[in-house]
Amino acid sequence: MSEAPPPPYRWFDLHVLRTERVSPSLVRVTFGGDHLGEMVTGGRDQRFKLFLPRPGQDAPVLPDDLGVGWYAQWRVQDPAVRAVMRSYTVRELRHDPHELDVDFVQHGRPGEGTGHSGPASEWSRTARPGDRVAILGPTAEENGGVDFQPPAGTDWVLVTADESALPAAAGILGWLPAGTPAKVFLEVAHPDDVTDLPTAADADITWLIRGPGAAPTLDAVRAARLPAGTPYAWIAGESGTVRALRRHLVGDRGFDRRAVTFTGYWRRGATEEDLLAELG
Ligand SMILES: Cc1cc2nc3c(=O)[nH]c(=O)nc-3n(C[C@H](O)[C@H](O)[C@H](O)COP(=O)(O)OP(=O)(O)OC[C@H]3O[C@@H](n4cnc5c(N)ncnc54)[C@H](O)[C@@H]3O)c2cc1C
């Protein structure tokens, strides 16, 4: 008999309810499913694992045993057949009715964003109502899948994100307590990707439109006047940019390295399988 995955996570069979092009770079896919009522989000940058079918399959091919050893089994499945596994963020989870929104960057399409395309981006572009996926998602608010964790004593927060981390930045802004000072730098490919992000925080949001040449977020943060007091930084987006930002904050600005949460959401020239393979 298969053991359950470690709590507080479970597998969900989901299907597409509808899709919406929310901006030039982002497609929002809304999922439904029988047990979605059991999914719970910790808010902020809540991540989960998404499993997609490959072209020609009508459902993702998952390991036979979905217990605690599922990952080792997924790795030895035929890479041409097994489900495409990717990391995504809860954009919104609603429970009346039970619906999950996920925003997918449309990368690598001519005139629609940077980089190369990939199976998840392509899947979202052509997703239709009824299309089946699976996710490994949280069932309790405290679930280890939320990285935005400002320590006690934080006076203000710094958030930087590109469009892949825009759902997470939106979640963080929606979660921040009223009046929290926040400096926010959001980098997108297209002026029409700029959107309203509701927040009760005292947020100073700078939108940066990426062009050819230097990474605009790094230049903007380098040039910024930052508030006084104890900062907490959350940085996500392309790995090289994220590393450079962290170096700047810790090395040049004197941020305590323990108060900088940094996550490469993707790396130029590498697929998510390449990144997992490096982890061994
Ligand atoms: C914790 C976490 C949460 C994430 N949440 C989201 C989310 O909510 N929405 C979202 O869209 N992404 C999110 N991402 C990023 C997403 O997992 C990656 O972009 C992933 O590589 C997309 O898979 P793919 O199959 O489209 O491309 P892959 O097959 O992984 O990569 C193919 C090629 O595309 C390039 N590439 C990948 N992503 C991008 C990009 N964003 N822009 C330009 N080029 C790219 C790669 O460098 C590679 O050359 C998240 C990542 C993490 C770690």
User: Using one digit for the tens of pLDDT, what is the confidence trace for 163-197?
Assistant: 999 999 999 999 999 999 999 999 999 999 999 99
Is 261 close to ligand 1, i.e. is its CB under 6 Å away? no
The confidence score (pLDDT) of residue 71 equals 94
Please list the residues that pair with 231 across neighbouring strands.
156
Is 269 close to ligand 1, i.e. is its CB under 6 Å away? yes
The rounded Å distance from CA 208 to ligand 1 centre is 19
Residues 9-138, CATH architecture:
Beta Barrel (2.40)
User: Using one digit for the tens of pLDDT, what is the confidence trace for 51-83?
Assistant: 999 999 999 999 999 999 999 999 999 999 999
Site to substitute for ligand 1 among 266, 274, 275, most atoms within 8 A of C-beta: 266
Averaged pLDDT score across all residues of the chain: 94
The rounded Å distance from CA 194 to ligand 1 centre is 19
The rounded Å distance from CA 124 to ligand 1 centre is 12
**What are the start and end residues of each CATH 3.40.50.80 domain in the chain?**
156-266
**Rounded to an integer, what distance in angstroms lies between the CA atom of residue 106 and that of residue 68?**
32
**Rounded to an integer, what distance in angstroms lies between the CA atom of residue 10 and that of residue 216?**
39
Which residue owns the Cα nearest ligand 1 atom 52? 265
pTM above 0.85, yes or no: yes
Is 241 close to ligand 1, i.e. is its CB under 6 Å away? no
Is 48 close to ligand 1, i.e. is its CB under 6 Å away? no
Residues 156-266, CATH architecture:
3-Layer(aba) Sandwich (3.40)
Site to substitute for ligand 1 among 121, 146, 262, most atoms within 8 A of C-beta: 121
Is 104 close to ligand 1, i.e. is its CB under 6 Å away? yes
**What are the start and end residues of each CATH 2.40.30.10 domain in the chain?**
9-138
- Three-class SS state of 132: strand
- Going by C-alpha positions, the residue among 166, 190, 207, 3 that lies closest to residue 114 is 190
User: Using one digit for the tens of pLDDT, what is the confidence trace for 250-273?
Assistant: 999 999 999 999 999 999 988 888
Sheet with 26-32: list strands edge to edge. Answer: 84-89, 47-52, 132-138, 9-23, 26-32, 98-105, 92-95
Give the chain's radius of gyration (CA, Å). 19
Is 210 close to ligand 1, i.e. is its CB under 6 Å away? no
